Amino acid sequence: MLSRNYFMNIAPIVRDMYRKHIFSKALDVHGAPFKSYTTQYGERKRGNKFKRQSTEYKNSRAPVLTGDLYGDFKVLKIMNNGFQLGWAAFGSRVIHLGKMGRVLSADNQVFPDKVERFIDKATSRRVRKKLPKNKTIRFKI
């Protein structure tokens, strides 16, 4: 029903939805806007004073300075029963940002609500499509 091929198709879509929510819309995983930077850091970021700074995000509160954190969020693994998204190199930076109040992912909420609803709807649609139409299915518990 839910095969590796299905997860190969849905994983990049989920990755892009997550990136858009966190980095483009500058919302944390709970849907709240990221809090303001300290005065000094905010002035330096808006003034493009950092080496390798991504100018696209200079006026944003999103946790993007050079774009490395954005680019590092990717599909890590696709299995027969699911997929893994995450940061290959910058996982410690995500933990540090969480301690500062800039939550990109939490134990109680891994994805934003909109992304979770998308996964749920797409998976439910796929399961309903693959189930036999006029046949009783019994599950032994």
Give per-residue pLDDT as tens, 35-65: 989 999 999 999 999 999 989 999 999 999 9
Output the pTM of the full model: 0.88
* 137: pLDDT strictly greater than 80: no
Burial class (CB in 10 A: 0-12, 13-18, 19+), 118: middle
Distance CA(16)–CA(139), nearest Å, equals 35
| 3-state class (DSSP) for residue 83 | strand
DSSP code at position 52: T
pLDDT digits (tens, 9 = 90+) for 58-111: 999 999 999 999 999 999 999 999 999 999 999 899 999 999 999 999 999 999
**DSSP H stretches of helix in the chain:** 4-19, 39-46, 68-72, 91-99, 113-130
Domain ranges for the chain, please list them.
Answer: 4-128
- Can you tell me the mean pLDDT for 98-126? 93
- Output the pLDDT for position 68: 93
Q: What Rg do the C-alpha atoms of the chain give, in angstroms?
A: 19
For 1-33, the pLDDT digits (tens) are 788 999 999 999 999 999 999 999 999 999 999
pLDDT at 112: 96
Structure tokens, 16: 């892009």
